[in-house]
């Protein structure tokens, strides 16, 4: 085992152990949250109400030693409610404007039910997610680092919602789908006290997070694996794909940013397993959450009941036959 492996060994288990004080099960979701942080990205969490999405992200922030801020997205939310605003300060001898920071000034932002607010307000997150800063009245303010956005949305309720534009969806590393717990997990959930979140202990420091992010960038990726990543991404685009089912059912495929994010997520996945190189298995384990929100299906696919996951499975299968 390499030195890099020894450093990372057991990290995911420690995170799961701390979160298990308030979160039962959801190990795959927790793994994807950890990969998001190691990759320096953002994630969209999709699940029905009552799955403890807010509690999960709050507990995860505590385990990562990161400040946490929850923003409830509503139809009447305006950009300044997120970023902050300048107010007149009468307290000092020299009266003037003072910037009052909004809730976005934290390490982890939970954008709760992000699709319930109009596009103008959703767009307030774009600069923050991409540039790690916000601009208010011509002045730029740096956000605290590291900075992550975890947004949630409800997959079954569309009335009164505003679907996220593709440009914003593309800035999320993952779309993480949360499902109901199994019987045994739900039996244990009956005895969970959310106030036990105070018992969640720190697993990583901020400096250690930066250190892991640096290690992710140094993970070795062979030309063969890069070719596999590009084969998946380029063949997802209907105008360029070698596959007839893509041309028939897909409106938009995976862009270059998606290619980059698939590679960095694969690197973080390899690192979290204690490896210093990426293989095909590392890519396959993260390709679904990377692709789900980037694949735009056409009406033909929807009419035939074909899901995004169906297309991803078929794409992987067909690409594998050619490598």
What pTM was estimated for this model as a whole?
Answer: 0.89
What is the pLDDT at residue 323? 76
What is the pLDDT at residue 24? 93
Write the CB contacts of 206 (distance below 8 Å, at least 6 apart in sequence).
65, 66, 107, 146
Check pLDDT > 60 for residue 7. Answer: no
Name which residue leads in pLDDT, 32 or 156. Answer: 32
Cβ atoms of residues 176 and 45 within 8 Å: yes
Name which residue leads in pLDDT, 138 or 246. Answer: 246
Confidence of residue 69 (pLDDT cuts 50, 70, 90): very high
What is the pLDDT at residue 5? 44
Going by C-alpha positions, the residue among 31, 12, 24 that lies closest to residue 289 is 31
What is the pLDDT at residue 9? 54
What is the pLDDT at residue 2? 46
Check pLDDT > 50 for residue 22. Answer: yes
Strand partners, 296: 252
- C-alpha 219: how far from chain center: 21
What is the pLDDT at residue 48? 87
Going by C-alpha positions, the residue among 29, 34, 80 that lies closest to residue 51 is 29
Structural domains for the chain: 3-210 (3.40.50.300), 219-320 (1.10.8.80)
- What is the dihedral sign for C-alpha 121, 125, 128, 131? negative
Check pLDDT > 90 for residue 92. Answer: no
Apex CA 277: angle with CA 274 and CA 278, to 5°?
100
What is the pLDDT at residue 36? 97
Going by C-alpha positions, the residue among 178, 173, 166 that lies closest to residue 295 is 166
- CA dist 175 and 32 (Å) reads 9
Check pLDDT > 90 for residue 147. Answer: yes
């Amino acid at each position: 085992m390499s030195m890099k492996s020894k450093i990372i060994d057991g990290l995911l288990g420690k995170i799961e152990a701390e979160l298990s004080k308030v979160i039962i099960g959801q190990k795959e979701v927790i793994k994807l949250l950890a990969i998001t942080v190691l990759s320096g990205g953002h994630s969209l969490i999709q699940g029905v109400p009552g799955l403890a999405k807010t509690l999960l992200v709050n507990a995860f922030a505590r385990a990562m030693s990161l400040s946490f801020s929850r923003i409830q997205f509503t139809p009447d939310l305006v950009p300044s409610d997120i970023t902050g605003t300048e107010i007149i300060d009468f307290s000092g001898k020299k009266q003037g404007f003072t910037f009052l920071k909004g809730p976005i000034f934290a390490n982890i932002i939970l954008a709760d039910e992000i699709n319930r607010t109009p596009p103008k307000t959703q767009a307030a997150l774009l600069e923050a997610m991409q540039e790690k800063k916000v601009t208010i009245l011509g002045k730029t303010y740096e956000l605290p680092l590291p900075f992550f956005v975890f947004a949630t949305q409800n997959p079954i309720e569309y009335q009164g919602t505003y679907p996220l534009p593709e440009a914003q969806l593309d800035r999320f590393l993952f779309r993480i789908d949360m499902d109901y717990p199994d019987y045994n997990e739900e039996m244990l959930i009956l005895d969970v006290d959310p106030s036990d979140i105070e018992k969640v202990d720190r697993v990583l420091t901020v400096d250690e997070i930066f250190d892991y992010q640096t290690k992710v960038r140094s993970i070795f990726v062979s030309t063969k694996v890069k070719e596999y990543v590009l084969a998946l991404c380029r063949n997802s685009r209907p105008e360029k794909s070698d596959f007839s089912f893509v041309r028939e059912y897909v409106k938009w495929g995976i862009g270059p940013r998606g290619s980059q994010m698939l590679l960095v997520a694969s690197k973080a996945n390899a690192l979290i397993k204690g490896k210093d190189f990426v293989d095909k298995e590392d890519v396959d384990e993260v390709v679904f959450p990377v692709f789900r929100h980037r694949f735009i299906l056409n009406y033909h696919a929807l009419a035939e009941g074909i899901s995004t996951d169906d297309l991803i499975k078929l794409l992987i299968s067909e690409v594998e036959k050619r490598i």
